[in-house]
Amino acid sequence: MSHSGYTQAAIAEACNVDVSTLSRCMNNKKPWSSKMLQKIGSAFNVAFLWLRDGVGKMIAEEKAIGKAQFAAFSQMLDANTSSVSQNVISGDNYQGTQTINGTEGEIVALMQKVELLKRLLDEKDKLLEEKDKLIKEKDKQNFDKNERLAEKDKMIAEQSSVIAEQRKQLQTLMEIFGRNKD
């Protein structure tokens, strides 16, 4: 829409689909079907793989084949089950036999995916560095907390020792006072 300047209604009309269906797809309330993406690609000369996966060139290169052959070509690439879709696809139309080389588009798509994976790996590395930093901070906080707890334990032990000494002194005093009563 941003590239062509069309409204949802104009796109729906050009693709012969219901505006509400297109709207639900665009608002992620309904998944995009291959059929819907093919209709959009066919109506606006936009590459199916670009619409579906965001890879390759946005503008479709139909060369001189008819729309039916181009749709079949897109379906074969989409299905990715035929060895033909990996190499060269030929189709006949009113202008003669035309050859579409699917390999070049696949290479561009793969290169874009590799670049995306590189960016994702860089982002993963940054997140791992941040995680390690947070773990170090947490470990330092735990170490500081353990240091404070050890200091408190030491104080409690010292106080327990003082109390034990005072009990001995009290016991001794009680024994002394007990003898004096007799």
For residue 107, give Cα distances in angstroms to 21, 55, 56, 66, 103: 33, 10, 9, 24, 6
- Residue 28 counted as domain residue: yes
Structure confidence at residue 151 (pLDDT):
94
- Residue 172 counted as domain residue: no
- Residue 117 counted as domain residue: no
- Residue 80 counted as domain residue: yes
Domain that holds residue 93: 8-108
Structure confidence at residue 93 (pLDDT):
37
- Residue 157 counted as domain residue: no
User: pTM score > 0.75 for this model?
Assistant: no
Tens of pLDDT, residue by residue over 102-136, are 566 678 778 888 888 998 999 999 999 999 999 99
How many domains are there within the chain?
1
Tens of pLDDT, residue by residue over 70-96, are 566 555 555 554 444 333 333 333 333
Tens of pLDDT, residue by residue over 60-71, are 664 545 566 556
For residue 85, what are its two tokens? 């879709």
